[in-house]
Structure 1
Amino acid sequence: MMRGLFGPLSLWLMTCVVSMPLVAASEWTLTDVCPAGFHQRDGGCYLQSFYSGYRSLQDSGVGGLKTGLPPLREGFSAQEIDLGRLLFFDPLLSADGDMACSSCHQPAKGFSDGLPGSVGRDGFVMHRSAPTLWNVGFLRELFWDARASSLEEQLEGPLFSSVEMANTPAQLLASLRQNANYPGLFQQAFGGAGEISLEQIYAALAAFQSSLISLSSRYDLYANGFHEVLTQPEIDGMNVFRSFVARCAECHTPPAFTNQQIAVIGTPEPEGMPLDIGVEAITGDESQRGGFKVPTLRNIELTAPYMHSGRFNTLREAVAFYTGGRGHAVPEGEHLSLHWHIWEPDLNDRELDLLVAFLKTLTDQSFMPVLPQKVPSGLKPVATQILTH
C-alpha cells in the first residue's frame, strides 16, 4: 500500500542520517558538521526542508499545504551550534550551579517542562508555562507576551532573573572564563584568543536553539505528497482544522502552525488566580488586555499542559475550550477585546476527537540533537534523559 512512499522517503532519511553530528575527535573538540536537516555553505549551516522551494508566504493566507516558511535564523557555524548545545545543558550558567536552560526546556517534554508554571530558584513557581523551543528560530517575537524581539534578548530574561537562573553578567563571564575547558571551546567557535564575551554566549545559545527544527512529521509527509501516511480520521481532523467553521488554521497557520500574532482568546486562569493581563502589561494597550502570542502547535502532543497558564491538562480539553461559547471563561467584570476568530463553532464530540487525532500528526523529534552526558564545567548536565516517546 505504501510502496510509492519508500523510494523518496528512504532517500530523505539517508540524507538525515548523513547530516547527524559526528563524534568529536576529543572530548571537548566542537564538531564541524552541521546538525541534521542543515547543509554547510560558506562556513554556515543552512536549513534543508520540504518547504525550502515554496515561494508562497505563510502570511499571504491561511496556509496551504505547500506554503513557504517564515525566515529562519540560520547561517551559524557548526561550532557555534555545538558550543550552544553544551551551554544549554550546563548548570554553570546559573548562579548556584543547579539550573540550566534545559531545566525548563527539556528534550523529553518537547523542550518544555510539563508544568503549568515553571519552577525557578528556591522553588519559586512562575505564573506562565514554558513554551516549546522547537522551531523557535522562525519566531519574530519571544515570550508569551512578545516582549523580546530576538533570541539573544530573550536569553537575558531567564539568565539574569532573580527568580529563575539568578545569575549576573559578571558572574556568568567569570565562571566561563575560569573554567578549564570553555575558553578553548569559545576560541574554536569564534576565533581570537578565547576571551569570552556576553555577545558570544548569547550567539552560541541562539545558534543552538535555531537549529531545533521540527518539519518532518507525518503531517509534513502528507503535505508534500506522501498521502498514505495519514489515516482517514487524521485527514478528517485536518479538514476540520482548516475549515471556516473551526478556523484553527487562521491563527495556527501551516506550516509553522502559528501566525506569530497576538490574540485575546479569554482562556480561564487556574482556580483562584487573577487575570493575567498579558501583552497589555508590556504595551499599555487596553485592547491587548489578556492577549498572548499565538503558540506553535508543532509537537503539541508532547507539551501538556496547555495555554499560557497550563490551564488545560489534555489536548481534548484545550480544543473543547473553543467551542464553549465566545467569552464564556472571561472573569466577571472584565471586558476583553476578544479576537474575531473566537466565536461559537459548535463542534460535536466526534469533530473534537478528530481535531486531537490530527494535532498528534504534528509530532516530530527526528532531528533531536545529541544530548550531552557530560558538559565542560564538570557539573551534571540537566534533563538529558533518553526519549521514550
Structure 2
Amino acid sequence: MYLKKLILKTGLMAGLVLGASFVQAAPAQSSVAKPIELANDCPPGFELTRYNQCKLRTLYDGYKSLEDRGVGGLKTALPTVRDGFSPQQIDLGRYLFFDPLLSGDNSLSCASCHHPELGFADGRATSIGIGGAEVPRAAPTLWNVGFLKKLFWDARSDNLEQQMEGPLYSDVEMGSNPGQLLTDIGGNAEYRRLFGKAFPKHEGQPTLDQIYTAIAAFESSLVSLNSRYDQYAHGYQDALNANEKEGLNIFRSFVARCAECHTPPLFTNQQVAVIGVNEPEGRKFDPGAGAIFDNPTWHGGFKVPSLRNIVKTAPYMHSGTFDNLRDATEFYTLGRGHALPEEEKKRMILHWHIWEPNLTDEEIDRLVDFMGTLTDELFTPRIPERVPSGLAPVGVLPEPLQKTREAGQKQARN
C-alpha cells in the first residue's frame, strides 16, 4: 500500500527521478533571434553529479543480476548502461539528432528513421533513405539503446559511436561522408559555439569523435522503464489486470519460453537467434548475422530485439514481415521453419526455442495483452523548435505515417 501511494503521489512510476527540460511538452514561445543554449540539467531519470555527469538512477539498481535471479525474474537488475555524459553533451546530441544538416543533401535527420512519435522507429517495413532509396531493413527502436552491447539487426557494431557511422555514411541512408560532415558542422558558427560549451577542454573546430559522442550521449538518455509492467515488477500488484497477468505467466512459462530470449527487464537477451522468418514476397533472403560473421550456424540470424514499446513499432521483424503484433506472436507457435522455403530451411539451424508450443488463440491474445503493458514514453525528449543549421527540424510526423501512429495508440489503449 505504501509503494502504491508513493507511485501515485510522486508520479515516479518505476522510480526514476524526473528531470527538468527534456520531457515532451508543448513548445515554449521563443524568439528566433535568441541563441540556442544547452541544458544544464540532466534528462529525466538521471542524477547530476558533482563532476557534471548524468548518472542513471532506477529502482532496478537495488536488484541482483540475472545470474542470481534466473530467467524472467521480475526483480532482476539491469545490465550496465552508457551514462556519465554531461547535460550539455546530451542536449547537443539532441540538436544533432534532429538536424537534417547531417545528411548529404540536408533532407534527413536521425529522427527521420527514429521518430519519437513512432517509438523511435519509423513505422515502415523497411526505411527510406536519401533520395527515396530503400534501406534493406527496418529501423529498430532506440529506446534503452544505451544498455545494448551489440547494435544493428546483424549485431555487427559494439558501441553507439561505431554504429552511427553506418547510417551517416551509407549511400542509401543519410548519404554523408566524414569530410562533408566536418565541413558542415564546423562551418556553422552556432555549432562551433555549442561544441565549445559541450566540450570545454577541446577548443577549435568540432571533431568527428565529438559529434559521435554527443549523439551517443543523447541516444543513451532514451530510457523507457516506467511502464505498467515496471510498476508491477516493483510491487504494485494492481498495475496489471487479470488478462495481462495471465499473459505474463504465459510469457515466462516453459511452454512459450518467450522470456528466455526476450528477457526482462530489457526484454532482450542481446543474443543472435535464428528463428526462421521468411522475407516478404519479392524480397531476396537476408542471411543476417551469418554473412557478417562468416558463421553458417547464424545463417538467417538476427539480434533479439527488445519488446519495450513494442505496440508503437509495427511492422515487426527485420524486414517488416508482420504488420501487427498478434501475427508476429502467432508465428512462434506454428512450428519449426514453417515459413521458410525448402532451400533455406535446409541451410538454417533454427534456435532450439523455436519449436511447437501449440498455444491456443486465447493464449496468444493474452501474450499480446501483456506486451501492451511494456509501453512507456513518459521521458520522451522534446523535439527542438529549431536547430543550429537553420534548417527545419525533422520532427513533424510525416503525413503517410499518421495512420500508423493512430493504430499504435489504439492498440496501446486496448
Length-normalised TM-score, structure 1:
0.95
Contact 1:373–1:384 under 8 Å retained in 2: no
Q: Letter of the aligned partner of 1:130 in structure 2?
A: A
CA distance in 1, matches of 2:361, 2:68: 31
Give, as a single letter, the amino acid of the residue that structure 2 aligns with 1:307.
Answer: M
Offset at residue 21 of structure 1 (A): 1.8
Rate the CA distance shift 1:85–1:232 in 2: closer, same or farther, 3 A.
same
Query: Which amino acid in 2 is paired with 1:54?
Result: Y
Distance of 1:7 and 1:59 partners within structure 2: 28
1:229-285 deviation per Cα after TM superposition (whole angstroms, max 9, x unaligned): 111000000001000000000000000000000000001210122221001111111
**Which of 363, 375, 382 pairs up with 2:387?**
375
SS, match of residue 52 in structure 1: helix
Moved more, 273-282 or 2-11: 2-11
Deviation at 1:29, TM superposition (A): 1.1
Amino acid at match of 2:52: G
Write the deviation string for residues 87-140 of structure 1: whole angstroms up to 9, x where unpaired: 000000011000000010010000000101100111111221000000000000
Whether contact under 8 Å (1:107, 1:384) holds in the other structure is: no
- Which residue among 192, 199, 213 is the counterpart of 1:183? 192
2:161 corresponds to which of 149, 152, 156:
152
Deviation at 1:384, TM superposition (A): 4.2
Match of 1:65 in 2: 74
C-alpha deviations, 1:31-83, integer Å up to 9, x for none?
Answer: 11000010011221011112011122369631300000011000000000000
**Cα pair distance change 1:59/1:214, threshold 3 Å:** farther
SS at match of 1:46: strand
Cα RMSD (Å): 2.1
Q: Distance in 2 between matches of 1:70 and 1:6?
A: 28
SS in structure 2 of the partner of residue 39 of structure 1: strand
- Mapping of residues 260-279 of structure 1, within 5 Å: 260-279=270-289
Q: Structure 1 residues 227-236 or 13-22, which shifts more?
A: 13-22
Number of the residue aligned with 2:21: 21
Q: How does 1:150-299 map to 2 (within 5 A)?
A: 150-191=159-200, 192-299=202-309
Structure 1 match to 2:134: 125
Q: 1:111 aligns with which of 113, 120, 130?
A: 120
Name the stretch that deviates more: 273-282 or 236-245. 273-282
The CA distance in 2 between the partners of 1:65 and 1:29, in whole Å, is: 41
The question of whether the paired residues in 2 share the 8 Å contact of 1:237 and 1:358 is answered with yes
5+ residue gaps, structure 1, are: none
Partner Cα distance (1:302, 1:275) in 2: 26
Structure 1 window deviating more from structure 2 (19-28 vs 164-173): it is 19-28
Partner Cα distance (2:173, 2:139) in 1: 12
Partner AA of 2:37 in structure 1: T
Counterparts in 2 of 1:18 and 1:69: CA distance versus 1, 3 Å: closer
Report the AA paired with residue 196 of structure 1.
P
- Corresponding residue for residue 10 of structure 2: 11
Q: Distance in 1 between matches of 2:226 and 2:80?
A: 18
Which secondary structure does the structure 2 equivalent of 1:118 belong to?
Answer: coil
1:302-331 CA-to-partner distances (Å, cap 9, x unmatched) read: 000000110000000000000111110121
Q: Percent identity?
A: 56
**CA–CA separation in structure 2 for the residues paired with 1:287 and 1:343:** 17
Structure 2: which amino acid aligns with 1:5?
K
Residues 186 and 194 of structure 1 are in contact (CA less than 8 Å); yes or no, is this contact kept in structure 2? no
Q: Deviations over 1:199-252 (max 9, x none)?
A: 000000000000000000000000000111111000000001000000000000
| Range 252-261 or range 123-132, more displaced | 123-132
**Residue 365 of structure 2 corresponds to residue 356 of structure 1:** no
Aligned length: 388
Separation (CA, whole Å) in 2 of partners of 1:58 and 1:30: 40
Partner residue of 2:43?
35
Matched, 1:49 2:58: yes
The aligned residue for residue 25 of structure 2 is: none
Note the C-alpha offset of 1:333: 1.4
Q: Does the alignment pair 1:139 with 2:148?
A: yes
CA distance in 1, matches of 2:289, 2:67: 24
- Return the offset for 1:371: 1.1
Q: 1:185 to 1:69 in 2, by over 3 A?
A: same
TM-score, normalised via structure 2 length: 0.90
Inter-partner Cα distance in structure 2 for 1:366 and 1:93: 28
